[in-house]
Amino acid sequence: MIFIDTHTHIYLDEFDSDRSEAVERAKQNGVRYMLLPNIDSTSVDDMLTLSDEFPGNCFPMMGLHPTSVKENYREELALVESWLQKRKFFGIGECGIDLYWDKTFFKEQEYVFRHQIELALAYDMPLIVHIRDSYNEVIRILKDVNKPDLRGIFHCFSGSTEQARQATGLGFSLGLGGVITFKNNRMQETLKHVDLKHLVLETDAPFLAPVPYRGKRNEPSYIPLVAEKVAEIKNIGVEEVAKATTENAIRLFGLQDEVRKQ
Ligand SMILES: [Zn+2]
């Protein structure tokens, strides 16, 4: 089975002592491809270093994370744009709205998110959307923008059946991670009503490790635990989950050429 971790931050300090080993452990577990969402100007160099070290496995994305939207957001956005002109990236993100940590820059967050939606359209790339305590705001913005060509992922999706219907209706896939393995989470119900064609897997490493590693550092090699949970909830085989989610991710990120090279 081949899996894809569509959202991992293993370029962060938490992996300074064993980053290459973490990539090798992932490959051992069938997690052959990893997509790296950027955070802000401070994370670009480490993300690109890792992408260059594992060119067939680690693919960078470019964007500005909502919790990094501060007074200097214009300079940060300009940097995102200049990087997009310099080399190949595979998605726009991580972007979106976060009203959990801090609401001070909500207006600026919306401006920056809308700007990155435009970039995703201009570069024909998927948009990786962070929706912490901001589901309604994100839906309002996407409906307002109203671009049928826009595609992407609702990262760390944990919403209701109705919210899943809304997100997939807007052409977005749902990113499933460790949260779906936690006790009493509502995805155990929601997932029964969502077709496999809308699902991709992710870790958000080093955050949100699945059971039995909950509370510890997360890493891409744990992706099969998420796949097993999806299989259990939908009462199907894990091979079917691996096949569908991997095909969905290859299509979404345009990885066909990368896969063919191997
Ligand atoms: Zn993330």
Tell me what pLDDT residue 184 has: 87
Kindly give the distance from the C-alpha atom of residue 178 to the centroid of ligand 1, in angstroms, as a whole number: 13
Q: How many angstroms separate the alpha carbon of residue 7 from the centre of ligand 1?
A: 6
pLDDT number for residue 227? 98
What pTM did the predictor assign?
0.97
Spacing, Cα 6 to ligand 1 middle (Å): 10
Distance from C-alpha of 184 to C-alpha of 107, rounded to nearest angstrom: 34
Residue 95's pLDDT is 98
Give the span between the Cα atoms of 33 and 220, in whole angstroms.
Answer: 9
Residues with pLDDT less than 50, the chain? none
Residue 44 CA to ligand 1 center (angstroms) comes to 14
Q: What is the CATH number of the domain that holds 33?
A: 3.20.20.140
Tokens of 139: 């839906």
DSSP lists the bridge partners of residue 58 as 34
Ligand 1 centre distance from Cα of residue 179 (Å): 13
User: For residue 180, how far is its CA from the centre of ligand 1 (angstroms)?
Assistant: 16
What's the confidence (pLDDT) of residue 136?
Answer: 95
Distance between CA atoms of 174 and 196, rounded to whole angstroms?
Answer: 10
Cα distance between residue 94 and residue 66, in whole Å: 8
- Tell how far the Cα of 243 is from the centroid of ligand 1, in angstroms: 23
Residue 242 is encoded by which pair of tokens? 């691996």
Q: What is the pLDDT of residue 132?
A: 93
What pLDDT does residue 101 have?
A: 82
Gap between the Cα atoms of 242 and 227, Å rounded? 7
Q: Give the chain's domain count.
A: 1
129 CA → ligand 1 middle, Å:
9
Q: What residues make up the domain containing 191? A: 3-260
pLDDT of residue 262: 77
Give the environment of ion ligand 1: residues with CB less than 5 A: 94, 204
